[in-house]
Structure formats: structure tokens, C-alpha cells
């Protein structure tokens, strides 16, 4: 088992973490100036060609997280969905992700396989509170204090508050209400008040939280980490869709390329200069 201490989350009172899904997006987010990253399950699933319905495995998620960690030294917050099963599955998942050096993970209280609440209209099926709390205790014990544990709840209203209190009692360091959990900032503030721990907010594209949760509001309601889980994915998907459409329609490639990132800028972005420098340092001259 690895004993490497993962990077700590920044000490700032409010941290924004964009959703990334591979080494390239991790490198670009770091170069943009972010202080932390989120391994977005929604984006990782999409990168495999699947909707966010827990169709990919823990091992596939872990592989993506390792690639992100290799590309960037920033603290990483990882989405572990439901922990991929019961309390024992959640314990193994937490241990493996702690071994990979993530700074924090978030786990939801849905039944497995999960259903993305922003993509389905019906209320998603949840575990009973005691079972969900048991999974949190198992994940906490398995991680051994090597990373923060964020408990996500897909409940709503007073039921969400009761669950949040139970999850903190079970060992959660932070609580993550989803965008449908509460409908007002006052409810978010109450969640922070009754649990006594920082909150994590997802500013999901097109959700009400994206529109209304300014930095000042986030601080007022007790949010410590604000995730931007889908904005990079949607931007990349839009650009790729346009590029593929233009090429497939027969537009000259040179005209399409003229609207894209220049080749030399991309070469710099992915670190060819550093590779050349390292080769000169370690490889025989002329090789």
C-alpha cells in the first residue's frame, strides 16, 4: 500500500475545481491557473462513450484518475459514484483511490447503479440512511485519514438535512448536496449550519446553482469547494462537433485548422519543450 501523502487542498476559503477526464485536460486546467481539479465521473463516462449511469467500472475510473495525477500535481477531487457496491466495495474503492494519491473523493447515497439526477426526470432511488452511513464509515476506515471524504446526498429538503447530519456522524468531512437537493440558498445555509462542516457545490452547466452561486453567495452559505464538472466537457464537445461536421461536409482542412489552436501552441501546451530538455540532460549526445 502506498504511503505517499497526496497534495492537500488549498487553504483558501473557497476553491474552484474544474471537471477533467484525462491528462490533457488536467494539464490545460493547471496551466489556466486552477488550484485543484475534479475528476468528473460525468466527463470520464462521456470520454468512454457512455452516459453517466455507472456503466464504467471502478478500475476504469481509477485508471483515468491515475492518468490525471500523472499529468498534474494539483490536488485532485475524485468522483467515486456509489463506491461501486455495498460497504465492502466502497471500502476497497476508497483504499484504491487513496493509494492513487487523490486529495478527496465524493460518494453518493443512491442505489447502485447510480442515475445522474440532472439527466433523468424521476427522483432517483436512494439507499436507506443507515446503509448509506455504513458505507461512509467503511470508506473512512479504509482510507485511513489519507484523503478527505465528501458525502453526497441526492435526497431533498428536510430528508437531505437528516441524511447530511447522519453522514457527518459517520465520518464525512464535507457534505455535497446535488443541484436538486435544495431550491434556495437559505436551505444550503441551513445545511451548513446543522452539519457544522463545509459544503461542496456542483455548479453544473445550465443548473440553477451555476447561475446564482456567485463567489460571495458560496462563501455566505458555507461552501468550501465549488466544482465545475461539465463546463469543460461541453465546451470541448461543442468544438469537436463543429470540427467534425465541417470536415465531414468537405470544408478544406486548412480552413478548419485556421480556426483551431495553432500547432506550435499545442506543442508547447503538452510539454514538448520539457521533453527535449530532459533528453539533452539524460540521453547521450546525438541520440
Q: Give pLDDT tens digits for 67-108.
A: 999 999 999 999 999 999 999 999 999 999 999 999 999 999
Helix (H, G, I), strand (E, B) or coil at 185: helix
Position 4 pLDDT exceeds 70? no
**Signed CA dihedral, 51, 211, 221, 217: sign only:** positive
Residues 243 and 101 in one domain: no
- The answer on 248 and 126 residing in a single domain is no
Residue 4 lies in a domain: no
Query: 61 with 145, same domain?
Result: yes
Average pLDDT of every residue of the chain: 94
Say whether pLDDT at 228 is over 60: yes
CATH number at residue 133: 3.20.20.60
Tell me: do 195 and 263 sit in the same domain. no
Q: What's the distance, CA 258 to chain centroid? A: 33
Per-residue confidence (pLDDT) for residue 1, from 0 to 100: 36
Examine the domain organization and report whether 192 and 255 are in the same domain.
no
Residue 100 in any domain: the answer is: yes
Residue 8 lies in a domain: no
184, three cell numbers: 434556495
Instruction: Give the pLDDT confidence score for residue 286 in this predicted structure.
Output: 64
Does 2 have pLDDT greater than 50?
Answer: no
Residue range 177-226, pLDDT digits in tens: 999 999 999 999 999 999 999 999 999 999 999 999 999 999 999 999 99
**What pLDDT sits at residue 12?**
84
Task: Residue 250: give the domain boundaries.
Answer: 237-282
Q: In terms of domains, do 160 and 244 share one?
A: no
* Whether the bond into 188 is cis, omega within 30 of 0: no
- 178, 90: one domain: yes
Which SS3 state, helix, strand or coil, does residue 111 take?
coil
Q: Would you say 62 and 94 are in contact if contact means Cβ atoms under 8 Å apart?
A: no
pTM (2 decimals)? 0.92
Whole-angstrom CA distances from 191 to 93, 126, 157, 253 are 27, 19, 10, 53
For residues 146 and 253, state if they share a domain: no
Q: What pLDDT, on the 0 to 100 scale, is given for residue 279?
A: 87
Q: Which of 193-207, 240-254, 271-285 has the lowest mean pLDDT?
A: 271-285
70 plus 164 within the same structural domain: yes
Number of domains in the chain: 2
Amino acid at each position: 500500500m502506498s504511503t505517499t501523502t497526496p497534495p492537500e487542498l488549498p487553504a483558501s476559503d473557497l476553491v474552484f475545481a474544474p471537471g477533467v477526464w484525462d491528462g490533457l485536460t488536467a494539464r490545460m486546467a493547471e496551466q489556466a491557473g486552477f488550484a485543484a481539479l475534479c475528476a468528473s465521473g460525468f466527463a470520464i463516462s462521456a470520454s468512454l462513450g457512455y452516459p453517466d449511469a455507472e456503466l464504467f467500472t471502478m478500475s476504469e475510473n481509477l485508471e483515468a484518475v491515475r492518468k490525471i495525477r500523472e499529468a498534474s500535481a494539483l490536488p485532485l477531487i475524485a468522483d467515486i459514484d456509489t463506491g461501486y457496491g455495498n460497504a465492502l466495495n466502497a471500502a476497497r474503492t476508497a483504499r484504491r483511490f487513496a493509494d492513487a494519491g487523490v486529495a478527496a473523493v465524493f460518494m453518493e447515497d443512491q442505489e447502485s447503479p447510480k442515475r445522474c439526477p440532472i439527466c433523468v426526470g424521476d427522483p432517483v432511488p436512494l439507499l436507506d440512511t443507515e446503509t448509506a452511513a455504513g458505507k461512509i464509515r467503511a470508506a473512512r476506515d479504509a482510507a485511513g485519514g489519507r484523503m478527505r471524504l465528501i458525502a453526497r446526498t441526492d435526497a431533498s429538503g428536510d430528508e437531505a438535512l437528516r441524511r447530511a447530519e447522519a453522514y457527518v456522524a459517520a465520518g464525512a468531512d464535507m457534505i455535497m448536496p446535488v443541484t436538486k437537493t435544495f431550491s434556495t440558498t437559505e436551505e444550503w445555509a441551513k445545511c451548513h449550519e446543522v452539519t457544522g462542516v463545509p459544503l461542496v457545490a456542483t455548479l453544473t452547466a445550465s443548473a440553477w446553482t451555476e447561475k446564482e452561486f456567485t463567489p460571495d453567495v458560496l462563501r455566505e452559505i458555507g461552501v468550501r469547494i465549488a466544482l465545475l464538472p461539465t463546463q469543460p466537457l461541453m465546451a470541448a464537445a461543442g468544438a469537436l462537433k463543429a470540427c467534425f461536421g465541417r470536415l465531414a461536409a468537405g470544408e478544406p482542412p486548412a480552413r478548419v485548422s485556421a480556426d483551431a489552436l495553432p500547432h506550435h501552441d499545442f506543442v508547447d501546451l503538452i510539454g514538448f519543450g520539457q521533453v527535449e530538455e530532459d533528453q539533452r540532460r539524460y540521453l547521450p549526445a546525438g541520440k
